[in-house]
A and B are shown apart, each in its own frame.
Chain A
């Protein structure tokens, strides 16, 4: 068996494990929107909650979830909740994002994570994935996939976080 397991590698992993989690950190990202303008999380986040939805043009469950999220965005924007769509489409599908999202009538901002870097950073491994952040940047809820009935569960969580 071929092991490349050196002492220094172990030290690095142990050091990371020793660094205890004591404070939630607000996501720090800067991505281009559909008009090629840079957008920062700090400028887009909601006063109370921020809902970040990872999706792709080729993803069938995303196509079903986006109209429902759009309705939710309309309902909760005045209650301090911001919605952000993050397309993980690579260069292959970049030109399709704008017509796709406009034809769906999406009103919330949509950003482009071309290299899936934000996706990896937030531990997202499938689309659609929806993450709810608190006002301090703490990750409150993580929802992977989309099945009938999921919209009610997502809404229930948003209501709960708003009332807490």
Chain B
């Protein structure tokens, strides 16, 4: 397919080069250091991602080039990792090449990218852009009453780096279509999808029902089920594969609320091409973000309730309640209550405080408390300071009952619009983290992660960032996607360029 893309470019550019627009961005990241307890500690590596786009009216061609160079054997690569030709005219959109598309609410298939994020797996030690795209084609017509989308593509297994042959990274062939009609703000839709790989071939359908009372209320419901000869299409027994998601959101003046329901059973499709709504709050605080409950698509049901209230002076209150139940061989309950309040003590200060209580039986963490604050103070002119404090207490029943504490302290100084310098200090006495794998003993005590972060915007299109010290890894969730971040000790420099 790449050959045809090149031919297309050859034909396109001479005709349009004086009228079109070239845009692009580049991310360069250099690291000197390594994972803790790993030799050599002075490992040097760099990653670069260049994205170029050329657009002439509704026609656009894009390419992505990535490379990674490291002393680690077998982890380096240089690769033209994405290309796309896209044509948009009014309600029609056609794409050939790499694309991110979602059918419905993502119960069956979701492509995504977390722009600017770089992913690394401990087993491969190769760094690469974090996205799960499809390679193929997509066609979309989005009319005011009727919409239609068809796609066919090979989905990327993004836990495998570009050093792995593409045949192993793209084993799921996804073919699907979604169509629906909208009348008076109410939409009724249908999805049909087939996923095939060397091990299985699955057929699914999904019914969609969504709508709104403009400015007051909106709702969204999806029921997905596999199509198999020996199973009724609405069966919800142990052998069935289905997913049900529903949400209702409403607002009244400064008060807003959303309610969500989920019920997923045997919904792990292929290598994991689906990404249904988690109905779990995505926290931005470090201690809570690491503890976010990740849905188990083998079996999970639950609810989430979130309310907002904004006071006249822009003070903002968030209250969240989440409950999820997994039934494997026994039941595992996860529940969480979260409250956050942002307010302005004095005209120069902004203060946010939060409190959280959770119980996560799947992780054997019966009790989890967390609290913290973010305080921002305008010192003078465009200078400001930030103080960020977080504390978490966990009681874990794993072989024996242990209690542990996690803490985060961040002290920052900023000059608007482009300079920020922060001292970051994290600490924990979690035995999973304090034990040093390179010694036969089991170490206790407190482990520290001190570091310095700095970011300077040279101009609106160039930003340089620096990190030096120890960075704590672990589970992380960004833009609704959860993944594992590795620890790091050393120096990291990032340069983001846009043109």
* Contact (Cβ within 8 A) A5 B6: no
Q: Does A36 contact B (CB under 8 A)?
A: yes
What does the 1/0 interface line of A39-60 toward B look like (CB < 8 Å)?
0000000000000000010111
What does the 1/0 interface line of B380-424 toward A look like (CB < 8 Å)?
011110000000000000000000000000000010110010000
* Contact (Cβ within 8 A) B249 A98: yes
* Contact (Cβ within 8 A) A60 B498: no
* Contact (Cβ within 8 A) A147 B20: no
Complex contacts, B282 vs chain A, CB 8 Å: 58, 92-93
- Chain A residue nearest to B497 (CB atoms) is A123
Minimum Cβ distance to chain A for residue B468 (Å): 20
Complex contacts, A126 vs chain B, CB 8 Å: 115-116
Tell which of B30-38, B209-217, B446-454, B484-492 binds the partner.
B209-217
- Chain A residue nearest to B88 (CB atoms) is A28
Which one of B19, B142, B247, B381 contacts A94 once the chains associate, using CB atoms below 8 Å?
B247
Interface centre among B6, B144, B249 (most CB of A within 10 A): B249
How far, in whole Å, are A87 and B428 apart by their CA atoms in the complex?
Answer: 35
Which one of A4, A16, A59, A120 contacts B63 once the chains associate, using CB atoms below 8 Å?
A16
- Chain A residue nearest to B166 (CB atoms) is A4
- Chain A residue nearest to B417 (CB atoms) is A153
* Contact (Cβ within 8 A) B284 A23: no
Q: Does B232 contact A (CB under 8 A)?
A: no
Q: Does B22 contact A (CB under 8 A)?
A: yes
* Contact (Cβ within 8 A) B20 A23: yes
* Contact (Cβ within 8 A) B185 A30: no
* Contact (Cβ within 8 A) A150 B18: no
- Chain B residue nearest to A132 (CB atoms) is B460
What does the 1/0 interface line of A120-144 toward B look like (CB < 8 Å)?
1101111000000000000001111
Q: Does A109 contact B (CB under 8 A)?
A: no
Contacts A20-B17, A94-B220, A148-B376; is A125 near B63 (CB within 8 Å)?
no
* Contact (Cβ within 8 A) A8 B3: yes
Complex contacts, B210 vs chain A, CB 8 Å: 36
* Contact (Cβ within 8 A) B22 A90: no
* Contact (Cβ within 8 A) A95 B308: no
Contacts A25-B21, A28-B88, A150-B416; is A125 near B76 (CB within 8 Å)?
no
Contacts A19-B54, A67-B314; is A103 near B255 (CB within 8 Å)?
yes
* Contact (Cβ within 8 A) A63 B220: no
What does the 1/0 interface line of B184-213 toward A look like (CB < 8 Å)?
010100000000000000000000001110
Minimum Cβ distance to chain A for residue B314 (Å): 4
Complex contacts, A37 vs chain B, CB 8 Å: 144, 185
> Interface size bucket, B side?
35 or more
Q: Does B74 contact A (CB under 8 A)?
A: yes
* Contact (Cβ within 8 A) B258 A92: no
* Contact (Cβ within 8 A) A8 B2: yes
Contacts A2-B163, A92-B480; is A17 near B250 (CB within 8 Å)?
no
Complex contacts, A123 vs chain B, CB 8 Å: 23-25, 51, 498
Complex contacts, A80 vs chain B, CB 8 Å: none
Tell which of B77-85, B263-271, B327-335, B434-442 binds the partner.
B77-85
Complex contacts, A143 vs chain B, CB 8 Å: 417, 460
Minimum Cβ distance to chain A for residue B93 (Å): 8
CB-based A-B contact count at 8 angstroms: 267
* Contact (Cβ within 8 A) B56 A99: no
Q: Does B278 contact A (CB under 8 A)?
A: yes
* Contact (Cβ within 8 A) B479 A36: no
Contacts A8-B3, A16-B61, A91-B275; is A144 near B256 (CB within 8 Å)?
no
* Contact (Cβ within 8 A) B310 A103: yes
Q: Does B339 contact A (CB under 8 A)?
A: no
Which one of B100, B142, B352 contacts A116 once the chains associate, using CB atoms below 8 Å?
B100
* Contact (Cβ within 8 A) B88 A99: no
Which one of A11, A36, A114 contacts B6 once the chains associate, using CB atoms below 8 Å?
A11
* Contact (Cβ within 8 A) B254 A105: yes
Contacts A4-B77, A36-B185, A58-B284; is A16 near B218 (CB within 8 Å)?
no
* Contact (Cβ within 8 A) B116 A15: no
Which one of A20, A63, A121 contacts B18 once the chains associate, using CB atoms below 8 Å?
A20
B interface vs A, CB < 8 Å?
2-3, 5-6, 9-10, 13, 16-25, 27, 50-58, 60-61, 63, 65, 69, 74, 76-80, 83, 88, 91, 93, 100-102, 105-106, 110-116, 142, 144, 162-163, 182, 185, 187, 210-212, 214-215, 218, 220, 247-251, 254-260, 275-278, 282-284, 306-310, 314, 316, 342, 348, 350, 352, 374, 376-378, 381-384, 414, 416-417, 420, 457, 460-461, 463, 479-481, 496, 498
A–B Cβ pairs within 8 angstroms, 27 of them? A1-B76, A2-B163, A4-B78, A15-B10, A19-B17, A21-B20, A22-B19, A25-B20, A28-B88, A34-B218, A35-B215, A36-B182, A60-B374, A64-B350, A89-B480, A90-B110, A95-B220, A98-B251, A99-B249, A99-B257, A104-B308, A121-B60, A123-B25, A125-B25, A126-B115, A141-B460, A150-B417
